[in-house]
A and B are shown apart, each in its own frame.
Chain A
Amino acid sequence: MPGEGAGRGLAAADKYYQDYGCRARELKGQGKRIMGYLCALAPLEMLTAAGFMPFRIKGDVNEPITKADVEMETIVCPFVRSCFDMSLKGKYEFLDGIVIPHACDSICRTYDVWKYTLNLPYFHLINMPHASDDPSLNFYKALLNTFRTSLSKFAGKEISDQSLTQAIQLYNQNRAKVRELYELRKASPPLISGAEVTKLLVAAMGIPVEEASELIGSVIEEVKQRGSVLAQKSARIMVVGAQIDNVAFIDLIEDSGAWMVADDLCPGARELFPYVDATDDPIDGIAERYLRKVYCGRTCRERKGSYQEYTEERFGHIGRSIREFSVDGVVLYIYKYCDPFGFDVPATKSYIESMGTPVLYLEDEYSMSTIGRLRTRIQAFLELIGSK
């Protein structure tokens, strides 16, 4: 039954965050099959409908990358390298397989390294297109159906439209919960800290979706009950970037006298806000969502009209968050070797600045070793906002 084993509230979130994977390990013990995945573009509805518990593979900023360097070049995105390193070090021994969407070069171009180095019974690359016009959408649907066939063969059970529709409902409920959670950040001071939110969202990546929804729900209750306990701080910060699955960087911001109140991140608003529409063929709704509703730099939106309209189309969601969450400054936090987000920096930065919101662009390496070095930048940025 849903929620079984999942504790409640911030304490449970913290437990699942600290001991990431413990719930998956537990369920594996009870005979549940666990399917690992990399990146927010893996169609979770499909995994769930096939009877797997989807498990998001994460890295660890505290763990120096060693084993990965034996098989993988260091010119690959450090986040991907860390994920691979953790997998090689047996952190996710409970996985029955890994599903990898063609997100970016660092993921797609290392697919064979993952597949042939980790001995797992199942691997599948979803060769998602970078273009998003109608032919691309139809192609993507075909890919999803290939995946559907392949996965049901491995699951030994057919993936029915009905089970997909149920899964879609589960995830949409989860997404609604996340939106509700973000409402708590709009107050000033926010009712929940950025670090608390990130811990919760990371915890949610490692447990079944029903439990995740319940966990988020219980945190919402708890936070509403405790009321406004957070101190007033000098600035409300939004973090924009690829993937942040640890709180080290967010603690840095919040220890420097600001709150992180909004994001365009994975896990975060970019990945968790968009719903799947109910469609006759559930694949249509799923395809539409992952290709067109998740605003990731790896997906090339069609340019219709002027460049300005195009920029609005690409970054408008960031602008809306800045207004809705009354953001004072944006930290643009990009990893080294990240092609999809790295090339967007000039356009993203000038779009946000055109709204009169200051931007701090940081290039980082997914390692605790750099956190100390970022402190002065963050503090100076806050002083700069304060003196405005």
Chain B
Amino acid sequence: MGEYLAGVDIGSTMTKVVIMNQAMLASVIGPTGPEHRKLANRVMEEALAKANLSFDDITYVVATGYGRINVPFADKQITEISCHARGVGYLLPEVRTVIDIGGQDCKGIKLSNGRAVDFVMNDKCAAGTGRFLEVTAEGLGVKLDDMGRLSLTAKNVAGISNTCTVFAEREVVAKLSDGVPLPDIIAGLHEAIATRIYGMVGRLKIEREVALTGGGAKNIGLVKALEAKLGYSVLVPPEPLLTGAIGAALLGKDIAKQAAENGIPLLRSELRLQEATFFT
């Protein structure tokens, strides 16, 4: 039957939208700017166009992520913790621990039959988040996407002592000037961030299988560094950026199903999709 669910995940750096019914129909990923609301609408429209649907075809919209409150047309806000859990549980049922490395935070989530049972989160300090790599990549004059590949050619990993992202940046630039090979430095950065993440997520008593999601999962160097810490290989979903949005859509589906079963009408947001910006 034509029940369409939408999940909108506004992260600190990337915004993702998926539209699903039985399977995923459309997904859009775009950078998050200062104007969340405007962006949410734009990205949603794009996704709808891709799926040849209009907003009225959508049964339920769940917003998640750091900007979730800025999605006027969402029917419900749910934290990224629950959404990632639901999304990964759906994509990779065997997973017990999720490590999500976002642009400005890092989460560890413990799963038990597709639901979050415990979690840890870092967003106090940029060390251990994607920003750490972004900033240092800038300092090195390297494209973020090349970091992973480059680090794999490291001969001997350079030690990065500073955990403060800003100081790490100056530290790596100094190392570069001292003639330390680029790959060694980048490998050192991955080592440093993997260490921070491992220390934090370790609080959950990590159990296999482990899935890696978020932008960090696209960085092969970081994946390898984490696998080295864990001592075994991790699973990475086909599109690691989308697990939150997929989970959001699925939770929307659960809510719709629940309502139908209890024969109560589905509570929906008054606001429909329209060009809203933070100025208005």
Contacts and interface: CB of A to CB of B under 8 A. Distances in A.
A/B: CB atoms within 8 Å of each other: yes
Interface of A: 358, 363, 370, 373, 376-377, 379-380, 383-384, 387
Contacts of A377: 119, 121
A388 to B, nearest CB: 8
A4 to B, nearest CB: 47
B124 A376 contact: no
Nearest to A349: B203
A379 B79 contact: yes
Given A370-B124, A383-B78, 16 more contacts: A358-B118, A363-B124, A373-B124, A376-B66, A376-B79, A376-B80, A376-B81, A376-B121, A377-B119, A377-B121, A379-B79, A380-B81, A380-B119, A383-B116, A384-B82, A384-B119
B193 to A, nearest CB: 19
B81 to A, nearest CB: 4
B123 interface: yes
B121 A383 contact: no
A370 B125 CA distance: 11
Contacts of B79: 376, 379-380, 383
Nearest to A376: B79
Contacts of A370: 124
Contacts of A384: 81-82, 116-119
18 contacts: A376-B79, A376-B80, A376-B81, A377-B119, A380-B80, A380-B82, A380-B119, A380-B121, A383-B78, A383-B79, A383-B82, A384-B82, A384-B116, A384-B117, A384-B118, A384-B119, A387-B82, A387-B116
Contacts of B124: 363, 370, 373
B115 interface: yes
B64 to A, nearest CB: 10
Interface centre among A363, A373, A384 (most CB of B within 10 A): A384
Where chain A touches its partner, the secondary structure class is: helix
The B interface is mostly helix, strand or loop, or mixed, namely: mixed
A132 to B, nearest CB: 31
Contacts of A383: 78-79, 81-82, 116
Nearest to A359: B118
B92 to A, nearest CB: 19
A384 B111 CA distance: 11
A181 B151 CA distance: 61
A383 B80 CA distance: 11
Interface string B196-222: 000000000000000000000000000
A162 B190 CA distance: 69
Interface of B: 66, 78-82, 115-119, 121, 123-124
A320 B121 CA distance: 30
Which of B66, B79, B81, B123 has the largest number of chain A CB atoms within 10 A? B79
Contacts of A380: 79-82, 116, 119, 121
Contacts of B116: 380, 383-384, 387
A384 B82 CA distance: 8
A204 to B, nearest CB: 33
A387 B115 contact: yes
A387 B118 CA distance: 12
- In the A-B complex, the 6 residue pairs with the smallest Cβ-Cβ separation, listed nearest first, are A380-B81, A380-B79, A383-B82, A379-B79, A376-B79, A373-B123
A102 B66 CA distance: 42
A321 B81 CA distance: 29
Contacts of B119: 377, 380, 384
A168 to B, nearest CB: 44
A81 to B, nearest CB: 17
A333 to B, nearest CB: 14
Nearest to B251: A383
A375 to B, nearest CB: 9
B217 to A, nearest CB: 20
Nearest to A365: B124
A143 B216 CA distance: 58
Contacts of A373: 123-124
Contacts of A387: 82, 115-116
A307 to B, nearest CB: 20
Contacts of A363: 124
A370 B116 CA distance: 24
Nearest to A380: B81
Nearest to A364: B124
A74 to B, nearest CB: 14
Contacts of B123: 373
A274 B123 CA distance: 38
A39 to B, nearest CB: 26
Nearest to A384: B116
A387 B80 CA distance: 15
A207 to B, nearest CB: 36
A363 B116 CA distance: 21
Contacts of B80: 376, 380
Contacts of B115: 387
A373 B116 CA distance: 19
A55 B104 CA distance: 42
A379 B79 CA distance: 7
B85 to A, nearest CB: 9
Nearest to B65: A376
Nearest to B115: A387
